[in-house]
Structure 1
Amino acid sequence: VTPECLAHNFTNEGGVGGTTRLLKNLCGLWIVQQCRASWQRSGKNWGWDQLTALAAESAPLQTIIDSSHPSLVAPNDMPAAIQELAKQSKQPIPESTGAVIRTALESVAAKVSQTLQELDELIGRRIGRVHIVGGGVQNKLLCQMIADASNRPVIAGPVEATAIGNLLVQILAENGKIDLRSVRSVVRDSFDPITYEPQSVAAWKERLAECVGR
């Protein structure tokens, strides 16, 4: 790990078969989950699809906060914490449920885009596409936002990535004739991912430029 990697909070993580990957942990849908939990405590039991629909109907690119800010780790009231960060950064304060969720999702997408740019610089080449696996792929709005913010295609799926990986690693351990390349091909051949192409690139580029240094 170079000093540049450390400066951007990247590290190395060991993987199957002696592999190593460059890693940076980001806060994802935790923010949305905690918003929903906060509203549930006040008697508003929003479903996931309802929240995403409300976010989709809200005005885009109004407020982008630091989704990895320490104040978002475990606040008592996540919507209020988001609003406070908006206030501190002198941006429009999201008031409605949809606006709060839209702020959360766009902020996650912005952080992913920023991290990809850092990664490009660290490895000396541009990452051409983004793979998203796990439950987050079910949020189509977020997948499209990441494609737009990063100006890179997003390949989403499979959803049950953890269970699939666990099963295949066990098979890999039991059968010495199968290698890592083979089990990866099993995943590619068994699931049909959804590809999200960048769309609102110019608007995102302009908005992210405004957020630099904020």
Structure 2
Amino acid sequence: MTKYSLAVDIGASSGRLILGHVENGKLQLNEIHRFDNNIVKRNEHFCWDIEALFQEIKVGINKCNELNIKPESIGIDTWAVDFVLLDENDNLLTDAVAYRDPRTDGIMEEVFEIMSKEKLYLETGIQFQKFNTIYQLFALKKKSPEVIDKAKSFLMIPEYLNFLLTGKKANEYTNATSTQLVNAFTKQWDYELLAKLGINKEMFLEIQPPKEVVGTLSEELVSEFGFDMKVVLPATHDTGSAVISVPEIEETVYLSSGTWSLIGVENHFPICVPKALKYNFTNEGGLDYRFRFLKNIMGLWMIQEVKRNYHDNYSFAEFVTLAEKEKNFQSFVNVDDDRFLKPENMVKEIQQYCQQTNQQIPLTPGQIAKCVYDSLANSYKRAINEIEEIFEKSFSRINVIGGGCQNEMLNQMIANVTNKEVCAGPIEATAIGNLVVQLMALEEVEDIQQARALIKNSFEVKTYKPQYVRG
């Protein structure tokens, strides 16, 4: 009898539920439900509609019934850093405020007055981004200290969704590390840091590694769906799941390409040296306590916003076609400038940046898209150079995973500017990583080596060689 697992993969702009099973030595995928994930305004903050997300998960599970499939397990992964707080009765004390909310403006510098940037990096190994959980919590404490004091449970987004499924609460390792509140070496909550920040340590739960079973569905949901499932912890941070899907990780730089671009290497220990701090690299926890030494770069969010600014008159594929026609146009923006995090109008912001830096101003949709793609490729090149400087070695291959790996023009750009071979795929990297961890929990797959061999045998990877265009 075929055994199925169900991956819930929710990104910053959309979510989907994907059924997976192994057949003839290959992992088979079937997307059964897809939905939008939009930021809403609540109580003067930009928030995620977490109740709507849970309803969409239930819709997807019910679709299993329509297919006459009863999955053995379900696992949820989402973006990182965001959270909710629960009171002693497990009621929400906070909205699921989104990382793009401006409540953390200026907060990072206030935290540095309590603990130096250097010591914070040495202990946590996490890059400095103004929206990290540590700064969100400090901003909340500053504005509403009574909420922090009253909180009995801190749950990140996938953990809260797990709680809604099971009634059980657990903090998961890969996502916990993104908070900048976990000691990189003990792999536990840094209670000394929490005390210095005046953040209630009692709300943090014991950190569980991926592959652990949170529980089974609540009685109410079993009655609703007509079947039960094990709720497994995958790498609940979506990048953690995605990197598991890199088929050949050794000597490879990976690039998880989606709303965000995450570029780095897999390592077996954290690297907290001054040069890593200087270049703002992070050491996020991975499966089996491996580390994702990577840099977070503004990704295809920019082109998503450009698409929206043009009233969705062009598809993503059409933006690529338009950009290809602008081969002689070249202007660059710093994609990591905070001005691109949530501008009122991305197109105007790009144009203003080019004007202020005395570059040619992109005027057409094709020129705007070409500017974004050139800027991303240039940013990837700079990050790879920094990785090679820190490791004192060169890498010959880049493996692009996730939805962005379908952009053949960008893949070729990356190969050209880095002078490295680019391998593109698998496309559904995050869901695949989610599923293989569930299979490990169910003892259908032995370990990460066997999982990567299964992935390599199951999905096509396309290769791009550097090309040189004269004049």
Query: TM-score higher than 0.5 here?
Result: yes
Identity %: 35
Change (3 A) 1:199 1:175: same
Offset from partner CA, 1:86-131 (integer Å, 9 cap, x none) = 1111110011110000000010000000000000000110111111
Query: What is the CA-CA distance between 1:36 and the residue it aligns to?
Result: 0.3
TM-score of the superposed pair, with normalisation by structure 1: 0.89
Choose the corresponding residue for 2:387, options 119, 129, 133: 119
Q: 1:37 aligned to 2:304? A: no
Once the 2 structures are TM-superposed, how far is the Cα of residue 50 of structure 1 from its aligned partner? 1.1
Q: CA deviation at 1:59?
A: 2.7
Q: Do structure 1's residue 180 and structure 2's residue 448 form an aligned pair?
A: yes
Report if aligned partners of 1:143, 1:156 keep a CA contact under 8 Å in 2. yes
The question of 1:98 aligning with 2:345 is answered: no
**Are 1:129 and 2:400 counterparts?**
no
CA distance in 2, matches of 1:176, 1:154: 31
Task: Tell me if the contact between 1:61 and 1:106 (Cα under 8 Å) persists in the aligned partners.
Answer: no
Superposition deviation, residue 168 in structure 1:
0.2
Q: 2:283 aligns with which of 12, 18, 21?
A: 12
Q: Judging changes above 3 Å, is the alpha-carbon distance between structure 1 residues 130 and 80 closer, same or farther for their aligned structure 2 residues?
A: same
| Deviation digits for residues 41-82 of structure 1 (CA, Å, limit 9, x no counterpart) | xxx521111111000001345101111111111111111111
Listed as ranges, the gaps of 5+ residues in structure 1 are 204-214
* Aligned pair partner of 1:169 in 437, 449, 465: 437
Q: Is the 8 A contact 2:445 2:451 kept in 1?
A: no
Matched, 1:143 2:411: yes
Any stretches of 5+ residues in structure 2 without a counterpart? 1-271
Partner of 2:128: none
3-state SS of paired residue (2:416): helix
Q: Are the equivalent residues in 2 in contact too, given 1:60–1:102 (CA < 8 A)?
A: no
Contact 1:26 1:68 in 2 (8 A): yes
1:207 — aligned with what? none
Q: Work out the CA distance in 2 between the residues paired with 1:141 and 1:156.
A: 12
Q: Distance in 2 between matches of 1:26 and 1:62?
A: 20
Shift of 1:186: 0.8
Residues 198 and 104 of structure 1, relative CA distance in 2, 3 Å threshold: same
Question: Which one has the bigger strand percentage?
Answer: 2
| Alpha-carbon distance in 2 for matches of 1:178, 1:128 | 30
Q: 2:334 aligns with which of 66, 76, 82?
A: 66
| Number of the residue aligned with 1:209 | none
What one-letter code is carried by the residue in structure 2 that aligns with 1:8?
Y
* 2:439–2:445 CA contact under 8 A, matched in 1: no
Deviation (angstroms), 1:200: 3.0
Offset of residue 17 of structure 1: 1.2
Q: Which residue of 1 aligns with 2:192?
A: none
Q: Aligned pair in 2 of structure 1 residues 138, 177: CA closer, same or farther (>3 Å)?
A: closer
Q: Structure 2 CA distance, aligned partners of 1:177 and 1:104?
A: 40
How far is 1:23 from its partner?
A: 1.5
**1:166-194 deviation per Cα after TM superposition (whole angstroms, max 9, x unaligned):** 00011112218701111011111111111
Q: Relative to structure 1, is the Cα distance of residues 174 and 105 closer, same or farther in structure 2, using a 3 angstrom cutoff? A: same
Q: Supply the distance in 2 between the matched residues of 1:49 and 1:61 (Cα, whole angstroms).
A: 19
Instruction: Name the count of aligned residue pairs.
Output: 200
Report the structure number with the largest CA radius of gyration. 2
Q: Secondary structure at the match of 1:17?
A: helix
Partner of 1:190: 458
Question: More helix per residue: 1 or 2?
Answer: 1
By how many angstroms is 1:84 displaced? 0.9
| CA separation of 1:202 and 1:110: change in aligned 2, threshold 3 A | farther
- Of stretches 172-181 and 16-25 in structure 1, the one that deviates more from structure 2 is 172-181
- What SS does the corresponding residue of 2:306 show, helix, strand or coil? helix
RMSD between aligned residues:
1.6
Q: TM-score, normalised by structure 2?
A: 0.41
* 2:283 match: secondary structure: strand
Determine whether 1:2 maps to 2:273. Answer: yes
* Separation in structure 2 between the aligned mates of residue 77 and residue 154 of structure 1, nearest angstrom: 32
> Contact (CA 8 Å) 2:436, 2:445: kept in 1 or not?
no
CA contact (8 A) 1:59 1:99 kept: no
Moved over 6 A (4+): none
